[in-house]
Structure 1
């Protein structure tokens, strides 16, 4: 169990575990046609290349002949050749040519599904994708323009960094937000969950009196989490929503590398393109506002939720959501011994530790 996260968690905040799913590998624009790059993703060494048809391919990095790194090689049509002895592998990792033999042999590399979305290359950490790529729920079937925000590193696990966006209490204590935020949850599927604001108020604040006329109901603020490592934020007045993606990946020692992506729906023509540049710029300002003030916490935090209160309900729900997904081991990408198939409530009831059930703590505090 992950003692850092609490006595009832087995995957959340575990330094050697992550959720099977789609994980960000690199930016699309950084991989040209005919180019191959080395990528270490979740402890596994990959060679990712863009073939002559423009398709992205992700293979295990080391040639099965003598272990040379394929990123030292070159793209050949839809396949790749090892620099050392010129063996060629196709997009599925099969050896299709050994020049010194003049034929193929039954050698194979592991290949991983790789696709592009929101300007990023994503890799599925398994044989066959079970769920969709991360997306902004409001923009699921919409063509989008994107702009990259900050690329950052944090001294904590991606799971821990993501809870900041649904830590309702910290909006008041850190950001001086003049209303109490309460979240409603909705599960999209096993690997995706949303937290949406349900409150309206703050009439005593000049800021809220200024912006509330632009909202028909409660203020729009929604966070959708994917695979415990990517989150998309939707916020803003009714007439214009802003969309920000935070996609994170686990680094060695339980740390985080992250990329911010600013998103808006594509608008036609030159005026549409210019308008989108303005919207994306404003989106970045909005994201910077919410990031300012508490980011240093995640360089020093030693997360251990010992005393959850009712205000922490959304955080506990996210932790439970992570626990119900399939954990994989750092480096091997193999399922861990705890398959996380049992309902979280059942795990909490059978736990022999001293941590009380979160619901009971909420009632008592």
Structure 2
């Protein structure tokens, strides 16, 4: 039986969902924190935009546009001095906000500025906000929002599909049975945490034909809790609660060339100080990695060749439709430029935001 839905017309392409040329303004992962030491600088390309990232003496991470606003030399060839970055070519020096603070051949620097991007660190990753001022906190697991956590990295994946398609795999209730024989019944309840974050939760009490239930029933008789939290359509947290065991897995993804997904897998647990607690975390993190790799291996051959089109949705696709609707209501940016896209008469218009040239030269503003 087909679902009655009113908020999304599949006769037209969604403006954001599964579109390789657009993404939601928000926080996206850059590199693992441990890959960037004090005084180190690295070139990175995130969502098509070339950037440089460095860590100053104050331990803070700074992300700037990649090219010097003077002659266009790549700042990744420069050096970190204290908390500032000096260009290799003419030795112009820029502070963490992107302002030029020193030009060797002048007594005072000219008023020039390169673009600086908001950054943060959480769950062992460096994150960048793709707009001016962060409108939301760094992505978090609702169940661990106020807790200090430890994390371990799994595999970095390149998937031959858009990150949105990779993400909806976790709320595709049909494939839980057809591919994984996981649970005989899933009934997700949706809740929007804010305009950029949405959760889906399910509690299963009895499912005698399920592989998972058969596996755990000799040890655990109560319900199994399964929840997902998505941020910006490209960062997803899966939480599985089985009694005292709670598995938390993050898939932090971003679009790369040809609309493919680059995904960092992170396993997360609440930090515990005791020896028993630390051993418990080691076990949980290891089991999380084992389980997720099993499911990814099963799904990989589908995601390698899928050409996603949802033309005939049925009841079991309701969560996917709700996820798409959630994304369509968010601010869309252009891949590579990070300029804002507007909708005109139901279609995406041309890029509206252009570089502002007011007090400071060469500053890109994305209001």
Q: Tell me the distance in 2 between the aligned counterparts of 1:140 and 1:340.
A: 40
Cα–Cα, structure 1 residues 271 and 340, in superposed 2: closer, same or farther, change >3 Å?
Answer: farther
Q: 1:227 — aligned with what?
A: 232
Cα–Cα, structure 1 residues 341 and 326, in superposed 2: closer, same or farther, change >3 Å?
Answer: farther
Q: 1:14 — aligned with what?
A: 19
Equivalent of 1:79 in 52, 77, 84:
84
Cα–Cα, structure 1 residues 207 and 156, in superposed 2: closer, same or farther, change >3 Å?
Answer: closer
Gaps of 5+ in 1: 343-365
Following superposition of structure 1 onto structure 2, how do residues 68-217 of structure 1 map, counting pairs within 5 Å? 68-204=73-209, 208-209=213-214, 211-212=216-217, 214=220, 216-217=222-223
- Output one character per residue of 1:331-353: Cα deviation in whole Å (capped at 9) or x when no partner: 111111229999xxxxxxxxxxx
Gaps of 5+ in 2: 1-9, 348-367
Q: Tell me the distance in 2 between the aligned counterparts of 1:21 and 1:340.
A: 25
Equivalent of 2:51 in 18, 30, 46:
46
Q: Tell me the distance in 2 between the aligned counterparts of 1:341 and 1:54.
A: 45
Q: Tell me the distance in 2 between the aligned counterparts of 1:307 and 1:237.
A: 35
Q: Work out whether residues 73 and 83 of structure 1, in 8 Å CA contact, stay in contact via their aligned partners in 2.
A: yes
Find the residue that maps to 1:296 and give its secondary structure: helix
Q: Work out whether residues 43 and 331 of structure 1, in 8 Å CA contact, stay in contact via their aligned partners in 2.
A: yes
Find the residue that maps to 2:343 and give its secondary structure: coil
Cα–Cα, structure 1 residues 300 and 70, in superposed 2: closer, same or farther, change >3 Å?
Answer: same
Q: Work out whether residues 215 and 237 of structure 1, in 8 Å CA contact, stay in contact via their aligned partners in 2.
A: no
Cα–Cα, structure 1 residues 85 and 293, in superposed 2: closer, same or farther, change >3 Å?
Answer: same
Cα–Cα, structure 1 residues 205 and 131, in superposed 2: closer, same or farther, change >3 Å?
Answer: closer
Cα–Cα, structure 1 residues 214 and 39, in superposed 2: closer, same or farther, change >3 Å?
Answer: same
Cα–Cα, structure 1 residues 6 and 193, in superposed 2: closer, same or farther, change >3 Å?
Answer: farther
Q: 1:324 — aligned with what?
A: 329
Cα–Cα, structure 1 residues 206 and 39, in superposed 2: closer, same or farther, change >3 Å?
Answer: closer
Q: Work out whether residues 181 and 210 of structure 2, in 8 Å CA contact, stay in contact via their aligned partners in 1.
A: no
- Output one character per residue of 1:107-147: Cα deviation in whole Å (capped at 9) or x when no partner: 10011000100000000001100011111111001011100
Q: Tell me the distance in 1 between the aligned counterparts of 2:153 and 2:94.
A: 33
Shift of 1:75: 0.5
Q: Work out whether residues 117 and 130 of structure 2, in 8 Å CA contact, stay in contact via their aligned partners in 1.
A: yes
Q: Tell me the distance in 2 between the aligned counterparts of 1:215 and 1:11.
A: 42
Shift of 1:205: 5.4
Find the residue that maps to 2:342 and give its secondary structure: coil
Find the residue that maps to 1:220 and give its secondary structure: strand
Q: 2:365 — aligned with what?
A: none
Q: Tell me the distance in 1 between the aligned counterparts of 2:195 and 2:320.
A: 17
Aligned length: 337
Shift of 1:208: 2.2
Shift of 1:271: 3.9
Q: Work out whether residues 41 and 79 of structure 2, in 8 Å CA contact, stay in contact via their aligned partners in 1.
A: yes
Find the residue that maps to 1:104 and give its secondary structure: coil
Is 2:330 aligned against 1:310? Answer: no
Find the residue that maps to 2:58 and give its secondary structure: coil
Q: Work out whether residues 88 and 98 of structure 1, in 8 Å CA contact, stay in contact via their aligned partners in 2.
A: yes
Q: Work out whether residues 149 and 259 of structure 1, in 8 Å CA contact, stay in contact via their aligned partners in 2.
A: yes
User: Displaced runs of 4+ in structure 1, greater than 6 A?
Assistant: 339-342
Shift of 1:178: 4.1
Following superposition of structure 1 onto structure 2, how do residues 347-358 of structure 1 map, counting pairs within 5 Å? none
Q: TM-score, normalised by structure 1?
A: 0.88
Is 2:28 aligned against 1:23? Answer: yes
Shift of 1:9: 1.2
Q: 2:4 — aligned with what?
A: none
Equivalent of 1:275 in 277, 280, 303:
280
Shift of 1:236: 3.2
Q: Work out whether residues 53 and 62 of structure 2, in 8 Å CA contact, stay in contact via their aligned partners in 1.
A: yes
RMSD: 2.0
Shift of 1:78: 1.0
- Output one character per residue of 1:306-342: Cα deviation in whole Å (capped at 9) or x when no partner: 1111111111110111101111001111111229999
Which 10-residue stretch deviates more, 5-14 or 129-138?
5-14
Cα–Cα, structure 1 residues 183 and 112, in superposed 2: closer, same or farther, change >3 Å?
Answer: same
